[in-house]
Amino acid sequence: MLQTVALSCLRGDRRLFSDLNITVQPGTLLAVVGENGSGKTSLLRMLTSLLSPEEGAILWQGQDIREQREQYCAQLTYIGHLNGIKDDLTAMENLSLSASLVGDHCDGPAAHAALEAVGLRRQAHQLPTKVLSQGQKRRVALARLWLSARTLWLLDEPFTSLDTAATGLVTEQLHAHLKRGGIAVVVTHQEVGLPSGLVQRLRMNG
Amino acid sequence: MNRPSLWEALRGVVRRDLLLAMRRRSDVVMSVFFLVIVASLFPLGVGPEPAVLRTIGAGVLWVAALLACLLSLGRVFTADYLDGVLEQMVLIAQPLPVLVVGKVFAHWIVSGLPVVLLSPLLGLQFGLDGEALGVLVLSLLLGTPTLSMIGAIGAALVLGVRGSGLLVALLVLPLYVPVLIFGAGAVTSSMAGIGGEANLSLLGACLVLSLFFSPWATAAALRIALE
């Protein structure tokens, strides 16, 4: 269970949000929506522990994440609006290196399977990612979701530059994750195509 | 729970950086060429007087090594910061300072080790004799990792700052002074016949100190840069 208690965020001298209380139960997706600049990404970065809250706390299984940073990090997969992939490495290398760095199981066949699951054809696997299109790069980054058995997924605009087919694939994967009892927090401008019982919406007002 | 062992994470960081360096060999070659050119300019400028060259040789080579190291500092974290790899690294469930050591080690292999290996050849240009060359290599072997460790703090502090290249030089160069003094001092004192051991021990002490403190400082600076 992921909880925020009286969370507030100050960037520079602007207060983006204050006194934010949310609880996300296992098997639920929290869709964070709102205008540009309303603090969606800041909230997500706070949830990853990259950004520390001005006031308030974030609780994971009832305990402050600052007190259990490493255990908490071991349970989350974060894909930010930067893809976190290296242009000079191939899609395969990027995926297997980033997965093995965080400790997800990833051998050659598993990496191929993940890339194919996200709709990246076999020919593209051995190409340096700098020659791939924006959407294909995004797919390489999102392929990590197919290797991640972690409970908490934090995704920042996962559907940007994806085509309809890929959006569908990612949504299906999110659905499977929720059915396993996982939690997802997704910052998005689009409707997430999931049954409404699984989705909890948070509207941020700048 | 999926958690990499410390060793796995460390090896992964080093492997990725070395793989990237292999893909972009031009970066490595450029800093080596820089060193060669700077070290070769001095004999041309000062003139071919063997006695003069022998006197300035150690100092010139050390300054050239230091500048080559400084030039390559921009590569340690900047690219990772811009493409989001750095934030993924910070979120690895292992202590960040240890991962920083991995990154600095990979950086040293790519930019420090070539300097060490090339230095005897450059030393010959200045007429250094066999024993002095040995001490030069040893001093660089102890000194260049220290330069990388100290430089990493500066590189992490200036992440996301405009004009960071010059700023990192201003931040880091004063901290390089002791290493330069002990390093060049080791060679000159061995040439003077009093042996370079004292200076080499001091260089070793600098290395141990920087290994101990720099990862923490760098990790703290990285966290601030990512906020």
Helix axes B197-226, B164-191, angle to 10 degrees: 170
pLDDT in tens, A117-158: 888 888 888 888 888 888 889 999 999 889 888 899 999 998
pLDDT in tens, B23-72: 988 888 888 899 999 998 988 888 888 888 888 888 999 999 999 999 88
- The boundaries of the domain holding residue B21 are 6-226
Q: Where are the beta strands (DSSP E) in chain B?
A: none
Question: Residue range B219-223: average pLDDT?
Answer: 94
Answer with the residue of higher pLDDT: B170 or B27: B170
Q: How many domains does chain B have?
A: 1
Is the residue at B70 inside a domain? yes
Identify the pLDDT of residue A200. 86
Q: Rounded to whole angstroms, how far apart are CA atoms A68 and A57?
A: 13
Residues in B touching A131 (Cβ below 8 Å)? none
Residues in B touching A74 (Cβ below 8 Å)? 1-3, 93
Q: Rounded to whole angstroms, how far apart are CA atoms A134 and A148?
A: 23
What are the distances in angstroms from CA A161 to CA A141, A166, A185, B56? 12, 10, 19, 58
Nearest to B83 among A82, A100, A104 (CB): A82
Is the residue at B79 inside a domain? yes
Is the residue at B1 inside a domain? no
Q: Which of A54, A86, A160 to mutate to test the interface with B (most CBs of B within 10 A)?
A: A86
Nearest to B9 among A81, A85, A101 (CB): A101
Is the residue at B108 inside a domain? yes
Q: Which of B18, B75, B91, B100 to mutate to test the interface with A (most CBs of A within 10 A)?
A: B91
User: Helix, strand, or coil here: A29?
Assistant: strand
Strands A2-11, A55-60: parallel, antiparallel or unpaired by DSSP?
A: antiparallel
Distance of CA B52 to the CA centre of its chain: 27
Q: Say which DSSP state A128 is in.
A: B
Question: What are phi and psi for residue A193, nearest 5 degrees?
Answer: -80, 65
Residues in A touching B82 (Cβ below 8 Å)? 82
- C-alpha distance from B82 to closest chain A C-alpha (Å): 8
Is the residue at B104 inside a domain? yes
What's the pTM? 0.90
Identify the pLDDT of residue B2. 64
pLDDT in tens, A83-110: 888 989 999 889 888 888 887 877 888 8
Side-chain-side CA neighbours of B57 within 13 Å: the count stands at 29
Q: Rounded to whole angstroms, how far apart are CA atoms B133 and B131?
A: 5
Is the residue at B140 inside a domain? yes
Q: Rounded to whole angstroms, how far apart are CA atoms B3 and B193?
A: 54
ipTM higher than the 0.85 cut: yes
Contact A101 B16 (CB under 8 A): yes
What residues are paired with A90 via a beta bridge? Answer: A128
Rg (C-alpha) for chain B, rounded Å, is: 18
